Structure 1
Amino acid sequence: MTTPILLVPGLNCTAEIYAHQVPALWQFGPVTIANHTEGSSMREIAASILRDAPPEFALVGFSMGGYLAFEMLRQARGRVLKLALRDTSARAETPEGAEKRRAAIALTEQGKFNLAVAQSFPNAVHPDHVGNAALKALHVRMATANGGETYIRQQTAIIGRPDSRPELGAIEVPTLVVVGDKDAITVPEAAREMAAGIADARLVVVPRAGHMALVEQHAIVTAELTEWTAK
């Protein structure tokens, strides 16, 4: 029996963020990359994803995709068969985080979207990878494909996301939590918090990886997702 797998990208990401994982996961069932560009709130975006999703599926959420995964559970818990949370958090946005996001929105509204994207890259990867031209090009390429209008709507949705920590105990499906050891955006402490709050969740801390562990250490992440899917 095959299991449909739904992969939800993060902020400023396209399907390319999962390029290393899709070929490995196809053996278990049809793989779909969610369109997370419709809507201006977590509720609206999650509803648009669920509208087009299979009746039941294994759910993988990266960063903003993780925030959306929690909202999808609120809207359609019975459809999610497995859950993988990748470099994300169950916490609501902090005042400091919201201020930074509003500053990035303001830059974008001023026609400086490229600057907002460039400024966000160093914080998105392990310190050893800040000079990695291929990773930076991927970061810029995905953001450009989504565009400034989508960026503003997604940032607005992220700022308004609810605190999902009170609902962790209600998650009863097999859950994998993965985080880069130097993730500065959704820190390892937040990953440990999610894993501790979800019964029997498996926590994996990826070495020499930041927020973009999916591509920084793609072999490790792919192996973990493959094992999670196969069980």
Structure 2
Amino acid sequence: MDRLSLVLLHAFPVDARMWNEVREPLVQRTRLITPDQRGLGRTALPETDREPSLDDAARDVLALLDKLELDQVILGGCSLGGYVTLAVLRAAPERIGGLVLIDTKATADGEEARRARLEMADRAEAEGISGWLADAMLPKVLGETTRRTKTDLADQIRELVEAQPAAGVAWAQRAMAARPDATDVVREAHVPALVVVGEEDTVTPPEAARELAGALPDATLTVLPGVGHLTPLEDPDGVAKAILDWLP
């Protein structure tokens, strides 16, 4: 992994600003690239008749690597960003020299979770997201300790959520609902991997992280205490330290 750039993909429903607090320590050691994903942040949602698929999000990442003339990178992400990372791994494993998988999993959604995503996508398109999406998401993505002790952070994340375009929110939810199980891809990932999870994550809990790390041939698992699903926002120092300790 020597001298490879680090590309980190953000979670849903926020954008690349979620990495702001981990950026400074990481750039002391590596080139860090944190794009907004399609339809979120400053990246437009392309006009297409194609059904939403994380395969298209993966192609966006590969196009970015081509534009930056990066043959191989350490690729990772949080939640949605992890799902896209695994889609890239499926499409072009030769472009990945290491994996950083944060609060994510390799398995597909169950029927109930899939249905909830599609309902949220329909509502975002019909009503927009103002006034309800952040209220729906914050109790799920923030750990109990964070909700109790870091009200300013909850307000910050609310602003990030409410800044996202409704069409991008809907696209991402439909793409995640359609994603396949990636356990087979993970088992063939013969590159160093770091798996990070919040101890209070109820979306992709520590048990899922242990399962993911166990499926990877060469994985290091870090469980961060007192935080939930958005560890780069809830405990940026812990995430940065985990990555820096793992990097060669």
SS at match of 1:113: coil
Residues in 1 aligned to 2:128 and 2:105: alpha-carbon distance in whole angstroms: 28
Q: Deviations over 1:6-45 (max 9, x none)?
A: 0111111211111122111112332111231156310001
Q: How does 1:23-62 map to 2 (within 5 A)?
A: 23-37=24-38, 38=45, 40-53=52-65, 54-62=70-78
One of 87, 92, 95 as aligned partner of 2:108: 92
Residues in 1 aligned to 2:61 and 2:155: alpha-carbon distance in whole angstroms: 27
Aligned to 2:153: 135
Q: Does 1:155 align with 2:173?
A: yes
Of the structure 1 ranges 53-62 and 76-85, higher mean CA displacement relative to structure 2 is found in 53-62
Q: How does 1:121-200 map to 2 (within 5 A)?
A: 121-131=138-148, 132-200=150-218
SS at match of 1:183: coil
Residues in 2 aligned to 1:110 and 1:168: alpha-carbon distance in whole angstroms: 37
Moved over 4 A (4+): none
Residues in 2 aligned to 1:64 and 1:123: alpha-carbon distance in whole angstroms: 14
Does the Cα contact within 8 Å between 1:86 and 1:178 map onto a contact in 2? yes
Letter paired with 1:175: A
Residues in 2 aligned to 1:172 and 1:27: alpha-carbon distance in whole angstroms: 27
Instruction: Give the alignment's TM-score, normalised by structure 1.
Output: 0.94
Q: Structure 1 residue 112: deviation in Å?
A: 4.6
Residues in 1 aligned to 2:155 and 2:116: alpha-carbon distance in whole angstroms: 23
Q: Structure 1 residue 162: deviation in Å?
A: 0.6
Structure 1 residue ranges without an equivalent (≥5):
none
Of the structure 1 ranges 110-119 and 52-61, higher mean CA displacement relative to structure 2 is found in 110-119
